[in-house]
A and B are shown apart, each in its own frame.
Chain A
Amino acid sequence: MPWRALHSVVANEQIGPYRLLRVARGATEPGIPGQFFMLEAPGRVLPRPMSLCLATPGELGFLFEPIGRGTRALAALAPGDELHILGPLGSGFRLDVERPLLVGGGIGVAPFPYLSEALGGPPAILGFRTERHAEAAALVPNAQVVVEPTRVTELLESGYDVLACGPEPMLEAVRVLAPHAQLAWEAPMACGYGACYGCVVDSDGEPKRLCVEGPVLADAAA
């Protein structure tokens, strides 16, 4: 298991309504796309889980929407500020796929820039609530973008190995059309390393901790 390390903020950029928090990478490994990190949220009791959005030799980037107390605290970080980060955690996407297609909704596109790079820039279908949210699509190459009321599933064709991340209703809809899709789920969690049992989901009748056995589950009844 990885240990927490202190990272300094390089930049905290606005992208539509989202934030891209970039920190100096230090000795922290970026892990496999779809894995996540626990980010200390200044002044808050618990850290927040974030999948890795970007990895460069010198930086790690996290994309999030400041909608709660923790994410607002993270949005207030300025270059030079420091925060503890624990990770990489959980299981990421399987990358041994023949015809990858990324399907994402809203802030669910967060792991896709890193995933897209690992897969050599496969096609992507990204859905957003508004044009302003859709600004985040610029981070993902080869993306077709839809804005509500159009749904990502309206563009989904068969014959692809789908890797998806987004809100639960989107993942449920994707699973109906692509039963073997790899789906990245989300649940409130306190720890990120299997201690709190907060993020347990039912997967094929077995309780699974999303932080340990996920967040990416294949064929999951989450």
Chain B
Amino acid sequence: MQMLLLNASGCLDGLTAPEVARSLDAFVSKTVTPEPRGGNDPVRIAETNHGMLNSIGLQNPGRERFLAEVLPELRKLGVPLWISVGGFAAHEYAETCAQLADVTIELNLSCPNVDEAPESAAEIVAACRATTPLRLFAKLSPAVPDIAEVARAVEAAGADGLSLVNTMRGLELDERTLQPCLARAVGGYSGPALKPIALAAVYACFRATELPIVGMGGVWNGREALELIAAGASSVALGTVLFADPGSPARVRRELQESAELFGLEDPLQARGLAHEPHAQTLTPDLTTTKVPAFFAN
């Protein structure tokens, strides 16, 4: 298994920022739905004290234009592609999956900004599994009572991997007016505040399934990427940090290697699952204070 550094879906446009996409091991597209979507009304973005809210609403050109116009351009990037597939019913996901080739598919089962499909995550995965031999990753919401149960169900339905986690619903009120900052009031909460939630989801799903896990949620530096791997992630995706720092992939990659080496590990992936085992290596206080990056040290 190879550890990949990816972008979180919807956090990078590979066509407007190809250099950033090429600094990743694979590029994950913005979610594609069957029909074109103009997205939600502005205001769509609001910063909070420890993260940000977005209410984009799956703006995308729709499946037909994506396949005809966007995908051929994305292929020119020369990096492996992951296509994020969305829909409002299981058959909509499955129909898009059936038309894709030579990509990894990430099923967006958890956008907090649009209505959900009536079927369960596992039912959607099963419908897609029936139409495609491509690798299927299920992107799950952490806002469920037991994410491990969902993970087991999508594994049984034929998923090849998990993407953990999507954003969670959050609200921010304007300092001066006490009115919601976003036009739709509630949006998807991401950024540093999401990290402990992502860690908990990855930790639970690592114990519950055998699947590879792409960990994501508030990673700002390499040390935090290492924590996701220790909790059970086999790959890491960058989301909100890409908005703040398009150079973050190279930085996080470097810091991740350095952070692993502090623990005597040659390869960061050797840290996978360490949070689940009693572990002999303990950093000395001087290393902890000088080498472990601080919050927002970017």
Contact = CB atoms under 8 A, between A and B. Distances in A.
Interface residues of A, number: 32
Given A45-B192, A197-B59, A190 B243 contact: yes
A90 to B, nearest CB: 11
Interface stretch (B6-14, B92-100, B148-156, B224-232): B6-14
B119 interface: no
A188 B242 contact: no
A211 B250 CA distance: 24
B16 A195 contact: yes
Contact of B243 (A187, A195, A202, A207): A195
B38 A207 contact: yes
B45 A198 contact: yes
Given A69-B175, A198-B56, A207-B59, A193 B42 contact: no
A195 B17 contact: yes
Contact of B47 (A1, A70, A200): A70
A17 interface: no
Contacts of B13: 194-195
Majority DSSP secondary structure for residues of A touching B:
loop
A202 B44 CA distance: 13
B58 to A, nearest CB: 10
B47 A69 contact: yes
Contacts of B298: 84
Contacts of B244: 40, 45-47, 190-191
Contacts of B48: 45
A197 B42 CA distance: 10
B39 interface: yes
B52 interface: yes
Contacts of B245: 4, 84
Contacts of A47: 244
A46 B52 contact: yes
A194 B16 contact: yes
Interface string A185-222: 00111110111111111100001010010000000000
Contacts of A202: 38
Name the residue in A40, A84, A193, A212 with the highest tally of chain B Cβ atoms < 10 Å from its Cβ.
Answer: A193
B47 A45 contact: yes
Nearest to A67: B176
Given A45-B244, A207-B59, A196 B45 contact: yes
A194 B16 CA distance: 6
A42 to B, nearest CB: 9
B39 A46 contact: no
A222 B296 CA distance: 34
Contacts, number: 102
B12 A195 contact: yes
B50 interface: yes
B45 A3 contact: no
Contacts of B52: 45-46, 190
A196 B243 contact: yes
Nearest to B218: A45
Given A3-B247, A43-B296, A190 B50 contact: no
A94 interface: no
Interface string B53-69: 01010010000000000
Contacts of B242: 191, 195
A21 B242 CA distance: 25
Contact of B175 (A68, A194, A199, A209): A68
B247 to A, nearest CB: 6
B46 interface: yes
A46 B298 CA distance: 12
Interface string A83-96: 01010000000000
A189 to B, nearest CB: 6
Nearest to A5: B247
B156 to A, nearest CB: 35
B247 A193 contact: no
B43 interface: yes
Given A84-B298, A190-B54, A195-B13, 10 more contacts: A1-B19, A45-B52, A45-B296, A190-B47, A190-B240, A190-B243, A193-B17, A195-B12, A196-B10, A198-B44
18 contacts: A1-B16, A3-B246, A3-B247, A4-B247, A40-B244, A45-B47, A45-B240, A46-B47, A46-B52, A46-B240, A69-B49, A190-B45, A190-B240, A191-B242, A191-B244, A198-B42, A201-B42, A202-B38
Interface of B: 10-13, 16-17, 19-20, 30, 38-39, 42-52, 54, 56, 59, 175, 191-192, 240, 242-247, 296, 298
